[in-house]
């Protein structure tokens, strides 16, 4: 099928607009339908994009995918540290390891924040930033609660999800949240407990 020859102004049936600039007149043609479709589609797309990639809680933000990638990388290098111990001092010492705290933070945001809040302030789960705890007296109890859960599964057990080393550094990360100020703090539950011991010199 060949295209019809272009119309000349004299053949035009469309109405002219009433303005004229330097002898140039303009047909009053409506904007084509396909243009409106493209415009509408990009408006809808941008709204969805904004929600998913800037306000997402499902780990779809640029920041979250960066920390997930970083976590995968650090997990790869985990091999070199051997088995970390789960006693109070060994756990507290991990707080000084910025690499491990980055891994633990990513794991916390990906797995724990739905219940404890991104910064540990507490939602369904308890506030981990305050001085009161329900199941914790010692730093090592954090490791135990993460491993086996608490309150008949209200706090799930994570021993199948995370390796021993990952649970040690998660415990260290949770210990480091104590005394920080979350954006929204859930009311304290349990009993106030003594401060963590000072980390022993290495």
Binding site for ligand HEC (CB under 6 A): 108, 111-112, 114-116, 124-126, 128, 133-136, 142, 145-146, 150-151, 154-156, 158, 170, 174, 190
Q: Write down the least CB distance from residue 142 to ligand HEC, Å.
A: 5
Q: Write down the least CB distance from residue 184 to ligand HEC, Å.
A: 16
Contact of 176 with 104, CB cutoff 8 Å: no
Residue closer to ligand HEC, measured from CB, 103 or 128: 128
Q: CA torsion angle for 46, 59, 105, 62 (degrees, to 10)?
A: -30
Residue closer to ligand HEC, measured from CB, 106 or 126: 126
Contact of 139 with 91, CB cutoff 8 Å: yes
Q: Write down the least CB distance from residue 51 to ligand HEC, Å.
A: 23
Q: Write down the least CB distance from residue 93 to ligand HEC, Å.
A: 18
How far from chain centre, in Å, is Cα 117?
11
Q: E strands within the chain?
A: 16-21, 24-27, 132-133, 191-192
Residue closer to ligand HEC, measured from CB, 17 or 151: 151
Residue closer to ligand HEC, measured from CB, 92 or 142: 142
Q: What single-letter DSSP state applies at residue 179?
A: T
| Burial of 173 (C-beta count, 10 Å sphere; 0-12/13-18/19+) | buried
């Amino acid at each position: 099928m060949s295209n019809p020859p272009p119309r000349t102004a004299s053949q035009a049936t469309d109405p002219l607009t009433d303005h004229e600039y330097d002898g140039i007149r303009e047909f009053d043609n409506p904007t084509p339908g396909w243009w409106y479709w493209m415009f509408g589609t990009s408006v809808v797309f941008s709204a969805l994009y904004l929600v998913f990639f800037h306000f997402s809680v499902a780990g779809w933000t640029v920041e979250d995918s960066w920390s997930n990638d970083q976590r995968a990388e650090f997990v790869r290098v985990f091999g070199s540290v051997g088995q970390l111990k789960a006693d109070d001092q060994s756990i507290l010492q991990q707080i000084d390891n910025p690499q491990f705290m980055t891994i633990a933070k990513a794991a916390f945001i990906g797995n724990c924040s739905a219940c404890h809040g991104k910064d540990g302030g507490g939602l369904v789960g308890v506030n981990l930033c305050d001085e009161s705890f329900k199941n914790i007296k010692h730093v090592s109890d954090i490791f135990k609660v993460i491993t086996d859960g608490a309150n008949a599964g209200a706090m799930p057990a994570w021993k199948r999800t995370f390796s021993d080393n990952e649970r040690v550094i998660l415990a260290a990360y949770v210990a480091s949240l104590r005394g920080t100020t979350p954006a929204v703090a859930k009311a304290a539950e349990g009993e106030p407990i003594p401060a963590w011991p000072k980390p022993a010199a290495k």
